[in-house]
Amino acid sequence: MRHLALSALLLTLTLACGSDNDTDTAPADVTQEVIEDAAPLEEVDTKKDDEDVEIPWDLPDADLVEADPDVSNDVPKGFTDCPTLGVSPYWEGTWEGLVTYDLVSDEPMQGLFLVNGTLSFEIKCLNQKLLVAGKLEGLAEAAGEVGTHPFAANIFGDFNYIERTIKANILNGEVRLFKVISLFFEGNFDGAVTKNGFFEGEWDGVHTGNDLNLEGDASGYGDWTAYPAPKPEEED
């Protein structure tokens, strides 16, 4: 378009300067008049369009995990000064695993328990960080023995909104054996959002003491799964 306009301008000047000299108008005046009457040259935008992809943060959970969080450095803000969460803040699920113990007492106390139960946690914003807080509850049961043993612990850690992962600690863990002795433990609670939009992860714990001050060891490990849940009802 720019070349066409220049060609038209030069042709007009040539015709004007080559006309009969019957007029008193000087060639310089003709040139100036033609330039003033010519339409302005069309500007051509040579700037390349920005091809950055916006992250579809409003997608449903199952579709959001398919989005590449690295396509943009401009992460939208929200959730009280924290990065946009992108997944449900409320989760519920189940866990299972194995606990072994070997304690020194008047009578040897050793064995293993199958453990399982429910879990719940919330992802919340505090001081511009996305934190995970929740709890594990369940029962331990020894194969071939009658009775169950309560198992409970707290969960506290971080949520990585880019990798969609949880890295948390198990705190204040307790399993009550034979209604006689409480084993205390701490450990790890890690997981990630799957392509299907739910969490899968692993947990582990080690013995930190017991209420009878017995010597010995105990440990546990297992798996967990969690799904988006409705907001819990506020307690009175």
Phi/psi class of residue 71: alpha, beta or left (left: φ > 0; alpha: ψ in -120 to 50)?
A: alpha
Amino acid at 92: E
Residues contacting 176, CB < 8 A, separation 6+: 149, 150, 151, 182, 183
Task: Judge whether residue 56 has pLDDT over 90.
Answer: no
**Pair of tokens at residue 156:** 């506290």
Pick the CATH number of 77-228 from 3.30.980, 1.10.860, 2.40.160, 3.30.420: 2.40.160
Residues contacting 5, CB < 8 A, separation 6+: 38, 39, 41, 42
Confidence of residue 43 (pLDDT cuts 50, 70, 90): very low
- Taking the model in full, what pTM does it have? 0.64
Confidence of residue 132 (pLDDT cuts 50, 70, 90): very high
What pLDDT, in 10s, does the model give residues 81-114?
A: 676 778 899 999 999 999 998 988 777 678 888 9
pLDDT, greater one: 82 or 117: 117
**Residue ranges per structural domain of the chain:** 2-37, 77-228
pLDDT, greater one: 212 or 169: 169
Residues linked to residue 188 through DSSP beta bridges, in sequence order: 169, 204
